[in-house]
Amino acid sequence: MDLGMVLILAGLALWWGAHLFKRVAPEKRATMGDGGKGLVTLLLLAGLVLMVLGYRWTEWVSVYVPLPGMGHLNNTLMLVSVFLFGVGGTKGLLYPKMRHPMLWGTVIWSLAHLLVNGDRASIVLFGGIGLWALVTMVIINRSAPWAPPTNGRGIKGDAMNLVGTLALYGAIAYVHIWLGHSPFVGTYP
Rounded CA separation 7/1 (Å) = 10
Mean pLDDT of 48-71: 94
In Å, how far from its chain's centre is CA 113? 10
- For residue 41, pLDDT beyond 50: yes
- How many angstroms separate the Cα of 119 from the Cα of each of 39, 113, 128, 182, 186? 33, 11, 14, 17, 16
Rounded CA separation 152/3 (Å) = 46
- For residue 103, pLDDT beyond 60: yes
For the chain, the residue count is 189
What is the overall mean pLDDT for the chain? 91
Q: Give the pLDDT score at 26.
A: 79
Q: What is the pTM of this model?
A: 0.90
Rounded CA separation 27/30 (Å) = 5
Contact present, 44 and 15 (Cβ < 8 Å) = yes
Q: Give the pLDDT score at 186.
A: 58
Contact present, 161 and 85 (Cβ < 8 Å) = no
Mean pLDDT of 176-186: 79
At 119, is the secondary structure helix, strand, or coil?
A: strand
- How many angstroms separate the Cα of 73 from the Cα of each of 69, 76, 100, 155, 169? 7, 5, 23, 26, 15
At residue 31 the predicted structure's pLDDT band, cuts being 50, 70 and 90, is: confident
Percent of the chain clearing pLDDT 90 (strictly above): 68
- For residue 160, pLDDT beyond 80: yes
Q: Give the pLDDT score at 24.
A: 83
- For residue 187, pLDDT beyond 60: no
Residue of 65, 103, 67, 73 lying closest to 85 (CA atoms): 103
Mean pLDDT of 141-148: 90
- For residue 58, pLDDT beyond 50: yes
At residue 188 the predicted structure's pLDDT band, cuts being 50, 70 and 90, is: very low
